[in-house]
Every structure is written in C-alpha cells, then in structure tokens.
Structure 1
Amino acid sequence: MPLIGAIGRMIETVANRAAGWIHRHSPDSTASQEVLTYALSIYFNAFSIVSLSLLIGFFAGTFIETVVVIVAFSVLRAFSGGNHMRTPMMCLLVSVAAFTSIPHVPAPEPWLRDALLCVSLLLALLFAPNVRHDPIYGNKLLPYMKWIAVAIVGTNFLIASWVVTLAFFIQCITLIPLQRRCMK
C-alpha cells in the first residue's frame, strides 16, 4: 500500500506544480491555482488509471482485452454518468482492479452473458443518466443520454463480447443511486 500512497502524492504534487506553472505563465487566466490543480489532478488520475491498467494488462498477456474493457467502460460512462469514489486514490485502485481483472474472468455460457446484458440494460433504463453536474456534452444532449447509454449496452448483443458485458455491468452498477460509505 505504500506504493499506492506514493502514486497519489505524486499525482497531487505534479498537478500542483503544473497548475502553478500555468498560473504564473497565463496572467489572463481567470482560474485560480487551486481550480487548475483540481482539474489537472483529475486528468493525471485518469492517465494513471489507463497507464497502470495497460501496463498490468501487457505483463499479464491481456493487453488487447484490457484496452477493450477500458474503452467500453469509458464510452458508456461518458453517456450514462455514475457514482464516483470518495477519493481519487480509491478511484484509481478500484478502476485498475476492475480493468485488469475482467479479462481474466472465464466466459460463461452465452445465456448468462445475455442475462447480464439484460440486467445492464435495465439498470441503464432505470438510472441513466446519473450526473451531478452539467454533462461534458452540455444540457442539450441530457434528454437523450439515457437512450444513448441503452443503445451502447444493446450493441453488445451483436458483438457478444464477455469482457464488454462485464465492463458494461460494472459501469451500470455505478448508476444505482445508493448512499454508500465508499461512494460520494
């Protein structure tokens, strides 16, 4: 665990230094250094999640599957939203664990894959979009985000990928509006 803490401190330090540099060299900027640090730490955390996941996937021999999981999860999350972990470090740990373990789950019978997809569709229908703020696409797209999320999940009935099914299922679980200790 000390390594994980070190990664978290490194992300915060790099974000703070980069924000300081940007703030000093952009006198016209209206954003404070704290706001820049926060925004950069989000980007650096996402970069760390993807980098660590791909590195682990490479050494585990599941690089392509890991890429597929990251893309499937991220595309669905962009349109469906979802709960966030309390801390960036918890997000990093849970995301890397999910992204790197999914490719190792043996594929079941097709009926089980389809059943899990149906559960994912139901969760997307009931709870998407789960966004706390203006979505990155703006409010104009907000009424359609549920249907886009449902369509994204539905495409896997054609693709029939087990790793995509698991990625979609895990993402759809984050849509459930529960007050949990580990979620915000």
Structure 2
Amino acid sequence: MLIETAAVRIAEGIKRQVPDHKSSVNILKHAIAVILNVVLIVALTLLIAFFTGHVGRAAAALIGFALLRQFTGGIHLKTGEWCVLVTTALFTLVSFIELSAFYVQVLNVLSMVLVAVFAPSKIEKQSRIPRRHYPKLRVIGVLIVLANVLIQSQTLAVVFFVQALSLIHRKEVKRHVTDQQS
C-alpha cells in the first residue's frame, strides 16, 4: 500500500496545483503508481546489480523483459509492492544464471511456442490497441524471442521464458483448447 499511498498523495497534490486538469485524481494516481513501480524496479535491480557485479545482465533482463511484455502482455500481481519485490528478485536472480547454448535454445523455442499460442494476454484493460491488431502483437513477440536465437543471451532466454509463462492463464488455456476443438 506504500506505492498506492504515495501515488494518491502525489495525484492529489497535482490536482490541487492544477484543479482544471482534465484527468481525475484516480487517473493520475494510476499513472503515478505505474511510474513509481517502474522506477523502483529499475533502481533497486540496478543497485543490487552494482553490488553483485552483474549490471550488464540485470540491464539486459530489465530491457528484454519490458520489451517483450509491451507486445505480449501478461499477468499482473495484486499490489505494486509485490510487483516491485518479485520483479526485482527475478531480475537479480536471472543475472546469476549460467546456461549452455543448448539450454538457451531450448528456452528460446519454448518461449516462441508460448508467445505464439498465448500472446497477447491480459492487455484489454492495459492498452487501447484494437483486437484486430492482436495477431501483429503476437508476431512481433515471436520475432523478439527469435532474435535471441541469433544473440544467444542466457539472460534474455530466461527472462523471455518467464515472460512467456506469465501469458498463461486458466481462462486462456480453456479458450485455446475450445478453439482447437472447433
């Protein structure tokens, strides 16, 4: 609730300073909470990475995950605090993972399949992109993962796989099974 409380206070302060602003306190609060989440995740991840000596890998994890997530969507945690804690821990742990070229490619293939089947996921309330463009988002997501077949980054393979897993929801699985039976 710390992020939410800070976002409300900042939004109310903005509204006091600019009462005629067209956005409501609620809309401002949501936008500020998103910004606070991103800033905290990036700052904490890079701070920890600085002390562990894995800044490059942590930065790759941050950028790769965010890029793929923009086009594919995925689950959201219940609170901003959980999002910051889990995401920071994930990126920190990923920066330590060592994989052989074989396992990098296995994760790349699994990620491509998951993105091809489930993307985009849970973006209806997060985006104004019309449904007719969802197949394009899926193709872009697959191409992003495919790029790592050439790059062969261990870090990107892991974060792409984690992001691809975040696309799977019980409702999505049922929908895909129903689609396959039709």
Same fold (TM over 0.5): yes
User: TM-score, normalized by length of structure 1?
Assistant: 0.85
Alignment RMSD (CA, Å): 1.7
Q: Write the deviation string for residues 16-63 of structure 1: whole angstroms up to 9, x where unpaired.
A: 222112111223223221321122111101110111001001111001
Match of 1:5 in 2: none
User: TM-score, normalized by length of structure 2?
Assistant: 0.86
Distance 1:17 1:134, change over 3 A: closer
Match of 1:153 in 2: 145
Query: Aligned partners of 2:4 and 2:96: how far apart in 1?
Result: 32
Query: Aligned partners of 1:124 and 1:132: how far apart in 2?
Result: 14
Match of 2:120 among 129, 153, 163: 129
Number of residue pairs matched by the alignment: 170
Query: Aligned partners of 1:26 and 1:133: how far apart in 2?
Result: 30
Match of 2:47 in 1: 55
The question of whether the paired residues in 1 share the 8 Å contact of 2:71 and 2:141 is answered with yes
Distance 1:12 1:170, change over 3 A: same
Match of 2:165 in 1: 173
Match of 1:92 in 2: 84
For structure 2, the 5+ residue unaligned runs are: 172-182
Distance 1:137 1:157, change over 3 A: farther
The question of whether the paired residues in 2 share the 8 Å contact of 1:53 and 1:99 is answered with yes
The question of whether the paired residues in 1 share the 8 Å contact of 2:4 and 2:80 is answered with no
Query: Aligned partners of 1:148 and 1:29: how far apart in 2?
Result: 36
Identity of aligned residues (%): 34
Match of 1:74 among 53, 66, 70: 66
The question of whether the paired residues in 2 share the 8 Å contact of 1:135 and 1:142 is answered with no
For structure 1, the 5+ residue unaligned runs are: 1-7, 180-184
Match of 2:129 among 138, 141, 163: 138
The question of whether the paired residues in 1 share the 8 Å contact of 2:74 and 2:167 is answered with yes
Query: Aligned partners of 2:22 and 2:109: how far apart in 1?
Result: 46
Output the amino acid matched with 1:118: V
Output the amino acid matched with 1:107: L
